[in-house]
Structure 1
């Protein structure tokens, strides 16, 4: 997956090659190509898929070579990165979204973000089959597009950014592209030997490609910070790939460029309407030092969920603030309009858990954020997932309530909710301690939560030089 940015960065070198653009696989998941604000936000997706870009299944021999393991029948998105590119094509920032981030998925409640695509695809597949559609290819294409749209909506809601372009790649494409460019230079702080991913490397620098590259970016067992260290692995690999392909040795080698384009055609899917040639021209001036990699802030890296096992808890408000801080207008630009007036919203709270007094606790937390206190009481039944209900036209107010609580609750329009009010139905997934911590953080008070510590591993990575990692 991490090779997708290279496709963008080096477009000016290979996009002119005959047949490339016409040979790319596209999907109808985004309307139009020109970003509303001029800057471009691209969602890069690494699919845990056992098919090529055209939907053809990979052979058993090839799967064995890739050490892909046994498929569980679910197409999860193992890697998610949002790339923001300003109008002039300079100083791009790539923001990683850890695959286990516990977030609100529009229409499906709160789950790990890597399941958004699969949930959207499965729901559309069932809908098409129930309607009488028996064309397997038609069902596959339409359900895959629905999965991508669900994922895009999830990322937009979490980050506060509008996704302008979408690109995905599968396991085969990643392996083939790394081999096409002659491998990527990486560096490890210590020896690793992980039987799960197959990663077995000695301390120091290595040039890796193909299966070894897959093992390097997929390992998370045995790493000090688990999935967060895997995210860093992916970032340094992408940086190394960008550095390698931007070098004259790769761009000037017709054989490498031909192999690269063949690999991309087989394994990359882009949104329809993306003007790749125009975009490539925009990217001409980008150098390794102008490409920076970051990861969204997290609250708890070992968060227990009701249905999805251990996950990574994130604060949606903090994520949006972090992303907008990296992608917002430069200094001197017109300031953004003020946020919503919380005092205009009355919040009612119903407790759907056995815990006594929780509705009052939540109400108090919200009044401390400027909302008006409404009715508190018990819900009509026990509920697992926290939901925030709002009347027509009040979705922004509901989102403000969710942000204030620091929870990833599902937002639901409900005509029974009084105008000017928002109803919070607290479920068993609600963590009062985590919510209180988020309120403290947003108000500047000290926090004793389980946020990942800031250290050398959290420093931004660029494509200028080789960074040694866990």
Structure 2
């Protein structure tokens, strides 16, 4: 039985979801967690936390009775990070109106609270999506359709059902501020294992390390045609940028500059929607020992990236490896699983 998501009726996503900008990229919520909350709030002191916490929007995502004090005190934690994506103008807009969770990252913080694993779930994974009232009768579909049918609440319920994991918090990123955020930390350095060419601006990033401002980081993270592996290349690039952001935020030069740190904290806080019961102070305390070098990234294993379904071309998750990864997460031994199942950058 999946815990963390009580039975309830899912209502269509609130209008604020549809008002969010459709930026196809990830990292803002993760930056807040591993960079801002780990280093920022702990460094500036919890006395100032209300300046930023009051700027965060809250929604009833997980439902009542899901906050487990025992897990927050001593157990491993699982946090879901979603990046919204407007479907306006895309071919299947008529079939799937509204927005989708273009980026889905599950963050597992180990019981020792000293390391974390970020699990990227391919947005086109073909899974069982629970019913959402009149919007969706329930059944197999792409996992990112859950956001369109029932907002973050249904997306969270779908991930919990897929993985068997209790969810301890949900954060949804408004990516309209990502350029400001990268610029607020005065740019990031990203090292690519392959060449990426932008289908939007024509920019090319050869294999190697590149200094990126907000505009360039945005451009890079949107690419799925000019990158090896298509959507999986984009996932990998998102992971690279997330790590670069976390490293930049935790850099001494940022933490010793009150003005710059305040700008980053404010930008991040104003760009998030979080679950109503997620205590940001507790989250900061949990993550204070997690450093960029103790964060590892993995993508849920798949067996067929071009599965033909009634919902269009989708991704079939590996029937043996994916459940094994989810079991490792539930048993808090995911670090061992990752070490035994190393993943390489996507290839053409």
The Cα of 1:192 is off from its aligned counterpart by 3.1
Q: Which has the larger radius of gyration?
A: 1
Instruction: Pick the aligned partner of 1:19 from 48, 51, 62.
Output: 51
Distance 2:170 2:193 in 1: 34
Counterpart of 1:48 in 2: which secondary structure? strand
The Cα of 1:76 is off from its aligned counterpart by 0.9
TM-score by length of 1: 0.58
The Cα of 1:456 is off from its aligned counterpart by 3.0
Deviations 1:360-412 (A, max 9, x none): xxxxxxxxxxxxxxxxxxxxxxxxxxxxxxxxxxxxxxxxxxxxxxxxxxxxx
Unaligned runs of 5+ in 2: 1-25, 132-137, 335-340
Q: For the structure 1 residues 455 and 321, does the alpha-carbon distance in structure 2 shift closer, same or farther, using more than 3 Å as the test?
A: closer
Q: For the structure 1 residues 304 and 19, does the alpha-carbon distance in structure 2 shift closer, same or farther, using more than 3 Å as the test?
A: same
Aligned to 1:2: 27
Distance 2:201 2:306 in 1: 21
For residues 175-190 of structure 1, the aligned pairs below 5 Å read 175-190=179-194
Counterpart of 1:310 in 2: which secondary structure? strand
Distance 2:69 2:226 in 1: 41
TM-score by length of 2: 0.77
Say whether the 8 Å CA contact 1:48–1:170 is kept in structure 2: no
Distance 1:87 1:260 in 2: 29
The Cα of 1:196 is off from its aligned counterpart by 4.2
Q: For the structure 1 residues 24 and 259, does the alpha-carbon distance in structure 2 shift closer, same or farther, using more than 3 Å as the test?
A: same
Distance 2:327 2:273 in 1: 27
Aligned to 1:323: 326
Instruction: Pick the aligned partner of 2:226 from 222, 227, 241.
Output: 222
The answer to whether structure 1 residue 48 and structure 2 residue 72 are counterparts is no
The answer to whether structure 1 residue 109 and structure 2 residue 146 are counterparts is no
Q: For the structure 1 residues 268 and 455, does the alpha-carbon distance in structure 2 shift closer, same or farther, using more than 3 Å as the test?
A: closer
The Cα of 1:79 is off from its aligned counterpart by 0.3
Deviations 1:71-108 (A, max 9, x none): 75521111000001123311210000011111110122
The answer to whether structure 1 residue 87 and structure 2 residue 111 are counterparts is yes
Q: For the structure 1 residues 197 and 77, does the alpha-carbon distance in structure 2 shift closer, same or farther, using more than 3 Å as the test?
A: farther
The Cα of 1:265 is off from its aligned counterpart by 2.9
Q: For the structure 1 residues 317 and 151, does the alpha-carbon distance in structure 2 shift closer, same or farther, using more than 3 Å as the test?
A: farther
The CA RMSD measured in Å over matched residues stands at 2.6
Say whether the 8 Å CA contact 1:302–1:311 is kept in structure 2: yes
Unaligned runs of 5+ in 1: 51-68, 121-146, 332-452, 459-468
Distance 1:117 1:317 in 2: 26
Distance 2:242 2:276 in 1: 24
Aligned to 1:75: 99
The Cα of 1:314 is off from its aligned counterpart by 1.2
Higher relative contact order, structure no. (Cα contacts within 8 Å, ≥ 6 residues apart): 2
Distance 1:199 1:45 in 2: 27
Aligned to 1:425: none
Distance 2:152 2:301 in 1: 24
Aligned to 1:29: 61
Distance 1:163 1:326 in 2: 12
Distance 1:244 1:212 in 2: 16
Counterpart of 2:345 in 1: which secondary structure? helix
Q: For the structure 1 residues 70 and 170, does the alpha-carbon distance in structure 2 shift closer, same or farther, using more than 3 Å as the test?
A: farther
